[in-house]
Structure 1
Amino acid sequence: MDEQWRADLGRWGIPSEIAAKAPADPWGHSPARFAERTDRALAAPEGPTLARIAEALPPGGTVLDVGAGTGAASLPLAGKLGELIAVDTSAGMLAELTSRADELGVSARVIQGRWPDVAAETPVADVAISAHVVYNVPDLAAFLTELSGHARRRVVLELTERHPMSWLTPLWEHFHDLGRPERPTVHDVMAIAEALGHEVHHEQYLAPLPRFAELDDLAESACRRLCLGQDRAEEVIMAAVELDMWPLPRERWFTLWWESK
């Protein structure tokens, strides 16, 4: 099952002849954009994921946030947090998280590295959370096993129903005549977690906000993801409108959780 996950995820790779022409990293993420999402989450701290973390978190408890980014999934719990342990590969993301943790009076321990490579140097927490990360993880069973091993009470995952780049499928076909896979999905994540012996609970709901507020934002992101220069933005906008992609429908998100053994 884990091998099927790895194979399905591998099919999302960008062909080398397309990637070689990319003017910018098609897989890159902006700490500034992530920080904006965190600030929105701090302004309106609600939703199923936060609720599932909060109900398992004792007052002054600890949260391990793997793939923490700038802290959108964990910092809104500042009032209950004793310590936040944040793991991420990006120093820029962790810097944004630390800055906000300081403002909120949250004790934050940051560990730069990839999970589960840094699991041995990471403390155990009351609750372990990983939000919008699993579709970047080829060895999902090992990832979840170490995540569960670092949670005294509960593990919580947040993810989209399908691969987060699925929205680009019509544009890949339009600009590169390239089809995109339909798997893996959240149901594959649930199956792998259950195969590891966990009783997985889930809740599904619409994403709290649209992926993009403006067509220009869609075009900027699509150009980078499609390995096109930003000078192609108007073409992307025209294609998105012609393909009836705008406005993008809200994504369906899932919160998964299970109790630690």
Structure 2
Amino acid sequence: MDADALDARWRAHLESWAIPARILDGAAADPWAHHPHRFGVRSDLAVAVSDRGPTMTRVAELLPGSLLDVGAGTGASSLPLRAQLTSLVAVDTSAAMLAELTVRADKLGVAVDTVEGRWPDVAPAVPSADVAVAAHVVYNVPDLADFLRALNTHARHRVVLELTHRHPMSWLGPLWEHFHSLKRPVRPIAEDCVALAAALGFAVQVDEREAPLERFSTIDELATSACRRLCLDPSRAPEVADTAMELGMWPVPRDRWVTVWWNV
């Protein structure tokens, strides 16, 4: 398949993850939302532990230098490299996430320029950098070919992506079937992103490892998250916890994290 066909297939697979209106209309909160506090905790841990898995290693190989972090969140993929950054530009759709990143960057003595908006819509306003990184973002990107092309044109030396092997909401499949009789999709998966990047002409290389973090620290945390993702009332958390235990979903197995990278 050529790049256009692979891009269309990626978009179609992502669209299949849409939550039916009959379920979404009953949601007490946005089931797709991400909370800055939870992301901030993970960023703090990444800074404290100085994890050097494949993604950090591939970025650090081209530093000291400038870094463009797209879908930066609160800085988990950039701030651990603070000592090697000559400049940092962080792009994210969430002003709250960027605010949390800025607080952490200030404490660490990292000068950061933030750009609020969706990539690649804001790309014309963003400077190039030695390395461009986008971690745990692509499953939110329907037009992946344009996203990757813009990363490639903004990186002087290397592009690095990190993503889970499967869609990050895949772990919820048994609960969707139990509570809503809804079977969730299987794709897209990391191999689909790799195939598209290769079809675009990038000399893609891939590293993989087990996720360094547990998804949840307690069954109660799982249940609270699952209620929101499943559009269930928060009061049903104990029922969700019991069901997860009955279905053998606790503890949740760690994801496989895939690092996709190429030199420009």
Bin for the TM-score computed over the shorter chain: over 0.9
Q: Distance in 1 between matches of 2:71 and 2:263?
A: 20
Q: Which residue of 2 aligns with 1:36?
A: 41
2:197 to 193, 197, 200: 193
Q: Which residue of 1 aligns with 2:24?
A: 19
Q: Distance in 2 between matches of 1:62 and 1:107?
A: 11
Q: Distance in 1 between matches of 2:220 and 2:153?
A: 43
1:134 to 128, 133, 138: 138
Q: Which residue of 1 aligns with 2:243?
A: 239
* One-letter code aligned to 1:165: M
Q: 5 Å matches for 1:35-184?
A: 35-46=40-51, 47-57=53-63, 59=64, 61-184=65-188
CA offset at residue 69 of structure 1? 0.2
What is the TM-score when the length of structure 1 is the normalising length?
0.98
Q: Which runs of 5+ in 1 are unaligned?
A: none
Q: Distance in 2 between matches of 1:155 and 1:30?
A: 27
Q: Distance in 2 between matches of 1:170 and 1:87?
A: 34
Q: Which residue of 1 aligns with 2:254?
A: 250
Q: Deviations over 1:133-158 (max 9, x none)?
A: 00000000000000110000000000
Q: Counterpart of 2:103 in 1: which secondary structure?
A: helix
CA offset at residue 56 of structure 1? 1.4
Q: Counterpart of 1:192 in 2: which secondary structure?
A: helix
What is the TM-score when the length of structure 2 is the normalising length?
0.97
2:229 to 204, 225, 230: 225
CA offset at residue 6 of structure 1? 0.4
Q: Deviations over 1:73-99 (max 9, x none)?
A: 011000000111000011110001011
Q: Counterpart of 1:198 in 2: which secondary structure?
A: coil
Q: Counterpart of 1:64 in 2: which secondary structure?
A: strand
Q: Distance in 1 between matches of 2:89 and 2:216?
A: 30
Q: Distance in 2 between matches of 1:33 and 1:120?
A: 30
Q: CA RMSD in A?
A: 0.5
Q: Distance in 2 between matches of 1:98 and 1:45?
A: 19
Structure 1 ranges of 4+ moved more than 3 A: none
CA offset at residue 210 of structure 1? 1.0
| Residue identity (%) | 62
Q: 5 Å matches for 1:4-15?
A: 4-15=9-20
Q: Distance in 2 between matches of 1:17 and 1:252?
A: 32
* One-letter code aligned to 2:203: E
Q: Which runs of 5+ in 2 are unaligned?
A: 1-5
